Amino acid sequence: MSKKAQRLHLFEHQLARLERRLAGWQQRSDQLSRWRLILFVGALLLGGAAFLQWGPVVWLVSTAVLLIPFIITVFIHRRVETAVARASLWQRRKQTHVARMTLAWDKLPLAKTFPIPADHPFAVDLDLVGDFSLHRLLDTAVSQDGSHRLHNWLLDTQPAPDAVLARQALVQELASQTIFRERLALRARQAIDDGKAQWAGQQLLGWLQVEQVGGSLRPLLIGLSLLAVLNWVLFAGYQLWQWPPLWAGTLFLYGVLFITLGFQRTATLFSDVMFLTDRLRVLDGVFAFLERWRFRHMPHTKQLCRPFWVTGERPSAHIQQVQRVVTGVGLRQNWLLGFLLNLLVPWDIYFAYRLDQCRAGLATQLPRWLDIWFELEAASSLAIFAYLNPGSGCGPRWWRPRSPQSWRPSWAIH
């Protein structure tokens, strides 16, 4: 049995095992769903009986006690559902690997379409792109940009021996790092709802690079903060020492400045924060994984990922800053609490200013982090193809530089 046949047999064995585990977890999930309903209805009925028999105090205590098993069941059920979702992702990925090994085109993800130069000398002739193309066979990237980078590598007609040699070393290294490749892909795929589409990093980069109308909020924040302190002092003097009601005038000035100069910048604060949080959701898992991985026996990958370890500029530090802004903005979603907070201090102005700082920091660092991720995804696509086809001439050096006059991918020559 060839090495490829052995690997294919291993995948089929893993798929059968995953199928059995999924069936067991799904059965357990169904049972927990039924128990959740039984416990909830039972708590309501017994609580209602306690209310009729002994009154509201006993009803509150008994309902709280009776809901404890329900809460525990919900917690366990969520753990099981997470395990089911994770196993389903593993199953789909391994099924796709088998399809790539057996050239089962109907079981591969649909081909991604990217612009092709009209005068490209070999893109169509060699089936590099399209429904039954090399790109579709190779592409395992979760991000749209990682897929696009692989597309550009395949269509590149300019010889760059140094770049290709460096890429070869990275691909050769990744080909032997199955756990790293698969976990990186799983982290990204888990963050995309139902695995429906690839995540486009350019959407977030475009939002970060949009200049804010009205300039910096720092002068307005300082001015309103000083006015807020003056409001407190004058109001305290009015209440404690019978000062004139000057606080009414400063409060009116505070409100006018807040509405006229700050309202435009804070009107979209919640939607901007939610947009940023949603887009960072996938990055949080991917970047945290790259920050924590030890990169043993992976010198080329370690060198590529070095920007993730810069002190004070790690992705986790920036994402934590965004999370603090999310927490602050979330408090003012209650209209009464939001009104009181902004009456006492320039709450919305402060968090809009902090969001601008987060935006500026991410606009500086995010392109580099994304570039590393896209490079890893494109290189992993080649590494996975080498791993799935051992001993078939499709190893890490299947794509090697030749002389500038005759450079072509080696698979196009044989």
Q: Residue 402 pLDDT > 50, yes or no?
A: no
Q: What's the mean pLDDT in 104-117?
A: 88
Q: Residue 105 pLDDT > 90, yes or no?
A: yes
Rounded-to-integer distance, Cα 152 and Cα 285, Å: 26
Rounded-to-integer distance, Cα 190 and Cα 90, Å: 10
Task: Note the helical H segments in 103-217.
Answer: 134-138, 144-155, 161-175, 178-190, 201-209
Q: Which residues pair with 199 in a beta bridge?
A: 143
Q: Which of 315, 263, 327 is nearest to 288 (CA)?
A: 315
Q: Is the distance from CB of 84 to CB of 29 less than 8 angstroms?
A: yes
Q: Residue 272 pLDDT > 80, yes or no?
A: yes
Specify the pLDDT at position 214. 62
Q: Residue 310: what are its φ and ψ, rounded to 5°?
A: -65, 125
Specify the pLDDT at position 403. 38
pLDDT band at 394 (very low <50, low <70, confident <90, very high): low
pLDDT band at 414 (very low <50, low <70, confident <90, very high): very low
For 31-88, the pLDDT digits (tens) are 999 999 998 888 888 888 888 888 787 778 888 888 899 899 999 999 999 899 888 9
How many helices, marked H, and strands, marked E, lie in the chain?
Answer: 15, 0
From the number of C-beta atoms within 10 Å of its C-beta (0-12, 13-18, 19+), residue 297 rates as exposed
SS3 content of the chain, % helix, strand, coil (to 5): 75, 0, 25
Rounded-to-integer distance, Cα 378 and Cα 112, Å: 14
Specify the pLDDT at position 279. 79
Q: Coil, strand or helix: which one is 408? A: coil
For 206-261, the pLDDT digits (tens) are 888 776 666 788 999 999 999 999 999 999 999 998 899 999 999 999 999 999 98
Q: Residue 201 pLDDT > 60, yes or no?
A: yes
Residues 6+ apart with CB under 8 A from 367: 205
Q: What's the mean pLDDT in 343-365?
A: 91
pLDDT band at 393 (very low <50, low <70, confident <90, very high): low
Specify the pLDDT at position 392. 59
- pTM of the shown model: 0.79
Q: Is the distance from CB of 15 to CB of 94 less than 8 angstroms?
A: yes
Q: Taking the CA of residue 223 as centre, how many other CA atoms within 13 Å lie in the half-sphere pointing to its CB?
A: 14
* pLDDT above 90 coverage of the chain, percent: 43
For 125-161, the pLDDT digits (tens) are 888 888 889 999 999 998 888 999 999 999 988 878 8
Specify the pLDDT at position 187. 86
Q: What's the mean pLDDT in 347-372?
A: 91
Specify the pLDDT at position 121. 86
- Span between the terminal Cα atoms of the chain, in Å: 25
Task: Please write down the HEC assignment for all residues of 30-45.
Answer: HHHHHHHHHHHHHHHH
Specify the pLDDT at position 406. 37
pLDDT band at 193 (very low <50, low <70, confident <90, very high): low
Q: Residue 282 pLDDT > 80, yes or no?
A: no
Output the average pLDDT for the chain. Answer: 85
Least confident among 4-13, 73-82, 111-120, 349-358: 111-120
